[in-house]
Structure 1
Amino acid sequence: MPRPISDGFSYPAPTTDSEAARFLLQAQFSASTEEIAALRSSTYADWLSRQFNGHPGASGWDWLNDRGYAAVSNDTAYYDNSYPADYMIWYQLMKSTDGLRKRVALALSEICVVSTNGVDINWRCHAMAWYWDQLVNNAFGNYRSVLENVTLNAAMGYYLNTRGNQKENAATGRQPDENYAREVMQLMSIGLVELNLDGTPRLDGNGKPIDSYTMNDVTNLARVFTGYDYDQSQNVPITVPGTTRVVPNTTYTRLPMALNASRHSTLAATFLGATIPANTPGAAALKSALDTLFNHPNVGPFIGKQLIQRLVTSNPSPGYVARVASVFNNNGAGVRGDMRAVIMAILLDDEARSPAGLTQPTFGKLREPMLRFVQWGRTFGLNSARGTWKIGDLSDLGSRLGQSPLRSPSVFNFFRPGYVPPSTALATAGAVAPEFQLVNESSVGGYLNYMQGVIRNGIFVNAPELPNNASSSNNGYDIKASYANELAIAADADALLARINLLMCAGQLSAATVKLIADALKATPVTAASTDAVKLDRVAAAVFLVMASAEYLVQK
């Protein structure tokens, strides 16, 4: 058994509700008073163990099928549409009971990126659901499995061109496509430069960072990823009723891509100091290549630092990165890549738990818009009255969130881990702020305008009783927050604000901000006898003003 990863940490358990909420907001999407109380009576490590051993809940794939999205009809054409994938992922994030597992899976989806925008295949919604499900399945597993599942996934095969990638052909000049070989190194395993254990670049004799791979490494590694295509061995062709069109069934989207040996390169592949001999069978070549990537010394600090950035802080100290990378390299029982050990190391580290971070200007991170939205929904009882959860693509930055899960604009995610806002104090300090790459005049206004509407009124959808995108006489605000606990105390502006401050901000709003918001709320009198609409107006105003404040937007 691995040694208890909680050994040696200075903050084993929360001593206040605010400390408990702070931990929960790093580890999952939201915090409730019940979750805070349960954590207060336990330890951080025990809470994590319960999460690791909990049930993963319904899969995205099953959710689609349960709601009829595998039906073959020319009217709905689910086989050609991606919007069911949006409904699926929003439901997963808003309603799943395994918050830590889904939070880690979402972080992995921003490292190993496949975007719904770029998957143009039959049953793309199912392909994206299975991609998500594999990240969920591996969130508490091993990073080596993440790499293999991602590599052979049908959605990734289309997105980064491994599907149909063929060996070299001297007669035609064809060479293997290098897209996946490049990105699996650059983004999903080792990064661009050689790293020390603490995540700092290794330097050459001239003080310059050392490249972690060369163009020759890319060219050679690309040979390994040839010969793969969708596995149609379980395909049952279906003729769309009323047409002559034939579509496959959904199964191929969740089968690992199959190897066609005749299309696989037989040349030797030398990369990153390893050599796969000529004529190595494709499966053995793939295993060797992924083992080489997985065992590269960069992976622990490169992936570990990005997970720290997604969960805790944009600028972890070198010591923090080194401690997490060390656990990635060895979980205490000789196992490399143990995600459970890595997650515990990230969330229990003194740098994550110390109250000192609350007053350090460079500690913390900007909350991603989609995480703010999910936190709002989970905190205040968001529900779809008809159960269809028709929350669509919220990527539009002028009128919505400017971000939507599984819809990154490119393989480089919504933002780069090393992004520095130009001409800012952060840039002067040499600090990074990845999420600020999403921030501009349009996105700030779009977020505020969108949230102001949905906080008060809910989310307007067409035909909430139907799974498809049709319109009906039932169009309306099917998805609303209940605010049950908040409405009960709406007449007490101070109590209402204190509750929202704890649940949304872990109690981190300053006294000045609390007073500013409280004074604004009290300008409109509300009593126990006020109408439900008046009470809702106050609750919505309180939530909106908190979610618009800088002290909320920056998570400490």
Structure 2
Amino acid sequence: MAEPILDSLEPETSPAEPRAMMPPTPLSGASLSTLAASLALAACSGGGGGAGTTAGGSPTPTPSPTPAPIGAAAASRLLGQATMGATKAEIASVQSLGFNGWITAQFAQPRATSHWDWLVANGYNVAANINNTTGFDPTIWRQMIAEPDQLRQRVGIALSEMMVIGVDGLVLNWKQFAGAAYFDVLLDNAFGNFRTLMGAITTNAAMASFLTFLGNKKGNTTTGAQPDENYARELMQLFTLGLYQLNADGTVKMSGGKPLETYGPADVSGLARVFTGLNLASAVSTTPDRYRVPLIMTASQHESGASSFLGTTIPAGTEGMAAVNLALDAIFAHSNVPPFVSKQLIQKMVTSNPSAAYIGRVSAVFANEGSGVRGDMKAVLRAILTDAEARDVTVVTASNSGKLREPVHRLTGWARAFAATSPSNAWTIGDTTSSSTRLGQSIGHSATVFNFFRPGYTPANTAISTAGLVAPEFQITNELSVVAYINYLQALIANGAGDFKADYSTILTLAGDSQALIDEVNLMLANGQLSAATITAIKGAVDSISNTGATGPSNRVMTAILLAMASPDYLTFR
């Protein structure tokens, strides 16, 4: 049976037989960190029949099959794809409602307190914060970890990595509020229609600042100045269409052995003419309020001539906002949008290398959810999460199965599994972008519109690249970042950050039974995916630590958690 390639990049010592895995004395912090790092590096080094009849000839009713019970591990696996981390309550909910039922229940969840309202309620709209990002990280982390609308949170984060802004790169005051308003747009529209989302980000102040089309002016024949093309280009390249023309299953259309381009320079310049004249709705800068409302059109700055792109022409004299909507309609109708968007959502939630058939099935739902509606996000998300390639556990043995867990998802998974809270509501986790001391990733802090990692990235000179596969998250994964992740995680597991701490009271009751302890960690954190070899190795380390004394039980618990989170079985989600 083929070994999953994403799990096959091993050093000379197999992860199942780690060096010094069973020390005779309790592990010190330094040795535990070293051991965990060696485990983590193993994940990234080098790369039917018909009905019968009765005697009288009447058809014999065929009873409906009873759905097979959903095991805890299968429930946890769904939550690994559809939430920011499993909890006992959510596992029980999936088992009770079923996969489809749980998804329906999540769609019915009311939107959590908006990022904007939370910032205001917690006093961040004071003059001292007018020129900083204070409050942005607490509200992002709090929602991901604490709010019950977890499917919405997961989709919102996925969208934020597809339609990217970086709060640090905003040329605006009140950056935390501008960033919050943008994330609220993504979350508000996560279960809506993709076309509506396109319009909402186009008229959002943070996006307009980040991609430099805020105040974009029509061309000037005297000076030769031309409209800024940044948003026009990235809207097509990164947000909706991609560089190459696609079949409905995401495969690239070819001609003469070469891929067919989706658009050219003339399409970019033509589309850029449409995105002129968009400005803030107010000049008042002493409060952040203008960043919450959509941009408005300034007619004198908008290009009034005809604009042509992608075989579409916006007639001369079309009112500015009407022109924007016509342009977005034309892009939304493009055949590339269903496969392009569907593939990226699958990559963010389920697997880095979905089959063409999987993409095709989801893409078909994006194009028409069954009643003629295009872009219905609820239908698309249900198709992604209930597809055979997402739910069939036998696919985990396929060589193209799996994805590297994003660093941020590792942190939120731990926090949710062990009920981490911040009693003061400070949520002092902060910016975790540093790859030398933290996670190498922090939501909302990408330096560029290309995100921390690209959907088509493949690590060079590895079995992954040789097989023609991609592994996007490996773009921020190397020896330095792995060691930093382990060191940061070890401190966080043990001490939290400020008053942001986990509650280990429940799992501590299992500290004396190493097998039960590891089984619980496996279910809650690794979605039941730790191999027998990995479990044996972690058990050896835990059993080497005495369960007596004031710190014995907690040391055993935290060792089990850290080593599980450093193992290739955990880091590679399948």
- Residue-by-residue CA offset, 1:185-236 (whole Å, 9 max, x unaligned): 00011010000000000011x1211000000000000000001111107x4x
Q: By how many angstroms is 1:33 displaced? A: 2.4
Higher relative contact order (Cα pairs below 8 Å, separated by 6+ residues): 2
> Which of 478, 494, 518 matches 2:515?
494
Which residue of 503, 507, 510 corresponds with 2:524? 503
Q: Distance in 2 between matches of 1:417 and 1:329?
A: 22
2:155 paired residue number: 104
1:284 alignment partner, SS class: helix
1:89 aligns with 2:140: yes
Structure 2 SS opposite 1:80 = coil
Once residues 361 and 550 of structure 1 are traced to their aligned partners in structure 2, the CA distance between those partners, rounded to angstroms, is: 15
Listed one character per residue, the Cα deviations across residues 432-472 of structure 1 (whole Å, up to 9, x for unaligned) are: 0011101112211110110011111111xxxxxxxxxxxxx
Question: What is the SS of the residue equivalent to 1:83?
Answer: coil
Q: Could you say which residue in structure 2 is the equivalent of 1:167?
A: 218
Deviation by residue 1:127-171 (Cα, 9 ceiling, x = unmatched):
000100110000000100111111110001111111010000000
Within 2, Cα distance between the matches of 1:217 and 1:418? Answer: 23
Alignment of 1:265-280 (within 5 A): 265-280=303-318
Partner of 1:471: none
1:14 Cα deviation from its structure 2 partner: 5.5
**2:78 is the alignment partner of 1:23:** yes
Q: Which residue of 1 aligns with 2:89?
A: 34
In structure 2, the residue matched to 1:534 is: 552
Report what 2:168 is aligned to.
117
The amino acid that maps onto 1:504 is: L
Q: Is 2:276 aligned against 1:226?
A: yes
SS at match of 1:226: coil
Kindly report which structure 2 residues correspond to 1:195-344, keeping only aligned pairs within 5 A, or say none: 195-204=246-255, 206-232=256-282, 235=284, 247-344=285-382
Counterpart-to-counterpart distance in 1, 2:243 and 2:289: 36
- Taking structure 1 as reference, are residues 11 and 278 closer, same or farther at Cα in structure 2, changes over 3 Å only? farther
Which consecutive unaligned segments of at least 5 residues does structure 1 have? Answer: 1-9, 236-246, 460-476
Structure 2 stretches lacking a partner, 5+ long: 1-64
Is contact 1:12-1:45 (8 Å) kept?
no
Q: Tell me: CA distance 1:13–1:422, structure 2 relative to 1, closer, same or farther (3 Å).
A: farther
Report if aligned partners of 2:216, 2:228 keep a CA contact under 8 Å in 1: yes
Task: Check conservation: 1:385, 1:478, Cα contact below 8 A.
Answer: yes
Name which of 120, 128, 131 aligns with 1:65: 120
Other-structure match for 1:392: 430
Q: Supply the distance in 2 between the matched residues of 1:371 and 1:30 (Cα, whole angstroms).
A: 7
Whether the 8 Å contact between 1:83 and 1:392 is mirrored in structure 2 is: no
Identify the residue that residue 42 of structure 2 maps to in structure 1.
none
State the distance in 2 between where 1:392 and 1:354 align.
37
Query: 2:282, 2:388 → 1: CA distance?
Result: 50
The answer on 1:514 being equivalent to 2:535 is yes
Q: TM-score under structure 2 normalisation?
A: 0.87
Aligned match of 1:369: 407
Q: Distance in 1 between matches of 2:134 and 2:367?
A: 39
Query: Match of 1:240?
Result: none
- By how many angstroms is 1:506 displaced? 1.7
Match of 1:187, SS state, is helix
How far apart are 1:13 and its partner, in Å?
A: 6.5
Give RMSD over aligned pairs.
Answer: 1.4
Contact 1:131 1:155 in 2 (8 A): yes
Q: How many residue pairs get matched?
A: 510
1:551 equivalent in alignment to 2:572: no
Q: TM-score, normalised by structure 1?
A: 0.90
CA change 1:286–1:12 in 2 (3 A) is farther
2:447 paired residue number? 409
Q: State the Cα distance separating 1:121 from its structure 2 match.
A: 1.0
Of 409, 416, 423, which aligns to 2:461?
423
Shift of 1:248: 2.6
Deviation at 1:542, TM superposition (A): 0.8
| Equivalent AA in structure 1 for residue 267 of structure 2 | D
Residues 218/12 of structure 1: CA separation in 2 closer, same or farther (3 Å cut): farther
- What's the secondary structure of 2:384's corresponding residue? helix
1:180-191 aligned within 5 A: 180-191=231-242
Q: CA deviation at 1:384?
A: 1.1
Answer yes or no: is 1:53 the counterpart of 2:108: yes
Contact 2:245 2:336 survives alignment (8 Å): yes
CA drift of 1:81 comes to 0.8
- Residues 269-326 of structure 1, C-alpha deviations (whole Å, 9 max, x = no match): 1111111011111011011000011110000000000000000000000000000000
1:319 & 1:12 partners in 2: Cα distance?
25
Aligned match of 1:139: 190
Q: Is the 8 A contact 1:501 1:507 kept in 2?
A: yes
Letter in 2 for 1:279: G
- The amino acid that maps onto 1:337 is G
How far apart in 2 are the matches of 1:57 and 1:296?
Answer: 33
In structure 1, distance between residues paired with 2:323 and 2:146: 41
Q: Structure 1 residues 324, 34: closer, same or farther in 2, change over 3 A?
A: same
Which of residues 463, 484, 497 in structure 2 aligns to 1:446?
484
Distance apart, 1:32 and its partner CA: 2.0
Shift of 1:15: 2.9
